[in-house]
Amino acid sequence: MDWRGRRGSRNIEDRRGARIGSIGGLGGAGFLAVLLIGWVLGVDVTPLLEDAAAPQASQDLSAEDEAAAEFVSVTLADTEEVWTQVFAEQLDAAYRPPVLVLFSQATNSPCGGASGATGPFYCPLDRKAYLDTAFFATMERQLGASGDFAAAYVVAHEIGHHVQNEMGILEEANAIRARVPEAESNAISVRIELQADCFSGIWARHAEQQFGSLEPGDVEEAMNAARQIGDDTLQRNAGRRPMPHTFTHGTSEQRMRWFERGYASGEMAECDSFGAQQL
């Protein structure tokens, strides 16, 4: 991905220098609450990262940390331009960009606490996406999803949830989830996540057209990331037998297919995972 030297977003809230208690200091109930937030709203990689919840000493930001923050800022700026154009052309509406919060180890949000173990997530209550850039290293070293465009896919996926929020989809879907049995709630969650994957594919297509920022192999990096964070793959890698009724994000095959669907069409109408008979 060609991103260096390009415009970054002003909608970044950098909390990486803040001293916030680690997840280990939350106690048992707090720890479970944080895991729940990741399960509902983010990419849940806790089966592979059990040690990530341990308290850690605060550290100065490295050059790698700063480069990751710059990368996120540029990617976020690209999503702002793409979705402003897509909203205008396809919805005849104005797009209100979100704020993206960068944090280290742990932070708080109106949706609850978060840590590197829960993965990135979007909180509709404050319209902010939350990301510990250390997750990119986790993707590469423990999930087998390397490459800058794999990281861009993660950012674009969370912004996809903001797009859903702007359209009123997220509020309606979560309201239904709150009053149905767990298995049905999980099934709705899967449709939420797959639509966000599709929206990230739309972003990739338009970023390629508007900025020429995609390089050979970038789409394959995103597809591989989608594969590695499928519910079935995560459960197998954690030594568990995949249990579809517990899936909240979709299988690897589903996640790849919906990203590809958005990338191939560039049309929001093609991302109606809620109306799809087959995912």
214-264 pLDDT, tens digit each: 999 999 999 999 999 999 999 998 899 999 999 999 999 999 999 999 999
Widest distance between CA atoms in the chain? 50
Mean pLDDT computed over every residue of the chain: 85
When comparing pLDDT for 42 and 184, which is higher?
Answer: 184
pLDDT band at 154 (very low <50, low <70, confident <90, very high): very high
Nearest to 161 by CA among 139, 194, 113: 194
Cα distance between residue 177 and residue 197, in whole Å: 19
Cα Rg of the chain (Å, integer): 17
Q: Which range (18-22, 90-94, 118-122, 208-212) has the least confidence?
A: 18-22
What is the mean pLDDT of the segment spanning 77-99?
A: 97
Cα distance between residue 194 and residue 256, in whole Å: 9
pLDDT band at 41 (very low <50, low <70, confident <90, very high): very low
> Residue 6: is its pLDDT beyond 80?
yes
- What is the pTM (predicted TM-score) of this model? 0.84
What is the mean pLDDT of the segment spanning 168-188?
A: 96
> Residue 38: is its pLDDT beyond 60?
no
Alpha-carbon torsion, ordered 259, 262, 268, 272, to 10 deg: -50
Q: What DSSP designation does 87 have?
A: I
Residues in a beta bridge with 99: 128
C-alpha distance from residue 155 to each of 41, 203, 207, 215 (Å): 13, 11, 13, 18
Alpha-carbon torsion, ordered 21, 22, 24, 28, to 10 deg: 60
Alpha-carbon torsion, ordered 36, 41, 45, 51, to 10 deg: -50
> Residue 61: is its pLDDT beyond 80?
no
Amino acid occupying residue 229: I
When comparing pLDDT for 32 and 80, which is higher?
Answer: 80
